């Protein structure tokens, strides 16, 4: 009996010593901490695209200055122009809307017979037109479209786009991008999907300016 008591006491003392050992305690607390902090130290930090750092866009929507810079990961579209050499057309997309909107609006100019030099463009029967889509949610949901073109159903709409400067992007490491600058103004009406208009809502975009917006698609000389 005495031997059993002595052995039991020895086992208890041994277990207690192990549980209070500082080395064991350190390993249990620091190892999980290392696992948690390592991903943070190696986490990639996203950087804005070079075009977003150089492009400057500003305009007013119904006399309110628009927000044209991105607002979160779901609102990251680029200010961008695309030239299609086969048909000599320009698609210029400028992003922005009034600050209280959860997502920037999408303003697009479509220009036929685009000249690769400073020039002025307006609505035309051969296809020059513009559109503006406004969103109701942070994920670009609930879009409402407004248009400016020469169709009779959209009478009263207006568009003026002026290209004041075009130059090669000398900092580009690939492709043949150019940088374009200019000004614009529009009067758009809500888009209808028939030749009959039941209502008319106007959006006026004024004091529009853009500088160093990237233009892609121009063939190399």
Q: Can you give the three-state secondary structure of 151-212, one letter per residue? A: CHHHCCCEEEEEEEEEEECCCCCCCCCEEEEEEEEEEEEECCCCCCCCCCCEEEEEEEEEEE
SS3 40: helix
Q: What is the tens place of the pLDDT at every residue in 27-82?
A: 333 333 333 333 343 333 333 444 445 899 999 999 999 999 988 778 889 999 99
Predicted local confidence at residue 32, as pLDDT: 35
Average pLDDT of the residues of the chain? 82
φ/ψ region of 88 (left if φ > 0, alpha if ψ in -120 to 50, else beta) reads: left
Span 186-205, average pLDDT: 94
Beta bridge partners of 119: 163
Residue-wise DSSP of 93-156: EEE-B-TTSSS--EEEEEESS--SSSEEEE--TTS-EEEEEE-SSTTS-S-EEEEE-S-GGGTT
Q: What is the tens place of the pLDDT at every residue in 95-137?
A: 999 999 999 999 999 999 999 999 999 999 889 999 999 999 9
Residue ranges of domains in the chain: 50-216
Confidence (pTM): 0.75
């Amino acid at each position: 009996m005495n031997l059993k008591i002595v052995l039991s006491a020895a086992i208890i003392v041994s277990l207690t010593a192990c549980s209070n050992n500082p080395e064991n305690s350190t390993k249990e607390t620091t190892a999980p901490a290392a696992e948690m902090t390592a991903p943070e130290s190696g986490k990639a930090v996203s950087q804005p695209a070079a075009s977003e750092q150089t492009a400057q866009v500003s305009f007013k929507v119904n006399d309110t200055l628009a927000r044209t810079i991105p607002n979160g990961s779901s609102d990251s579209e680029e200010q961008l122009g695309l030239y299609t050499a086969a048909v000599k057309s320009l698609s210029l997309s400028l992003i922005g809307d009034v600050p209280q909107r959860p997502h920037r609006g999408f303003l697009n100019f479509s220009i036929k017979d685009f000249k690769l030099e400073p020039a002025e463009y307006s609505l035309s029967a051969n296809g020059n037109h513009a559109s503006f889509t406004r969103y109701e949610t942070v994920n670009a949901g609930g879009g409402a479209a407004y248009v400016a073109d020469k169709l009779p159903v959209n009478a009263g709409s207006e568009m003026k786009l002026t290209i004041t400067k075009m130059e090669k992007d000398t900092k580009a490491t690939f492709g043949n991008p150019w940088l374009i600058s200019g000004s614009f103004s529009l009067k758009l009406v809500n888009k209808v999907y028939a030749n009959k208009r039941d209502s008319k809502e106007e959006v006026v975009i004024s004091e529009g300016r853009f500088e160093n917006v990237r233009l892609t698609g121009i063939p190399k000389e």
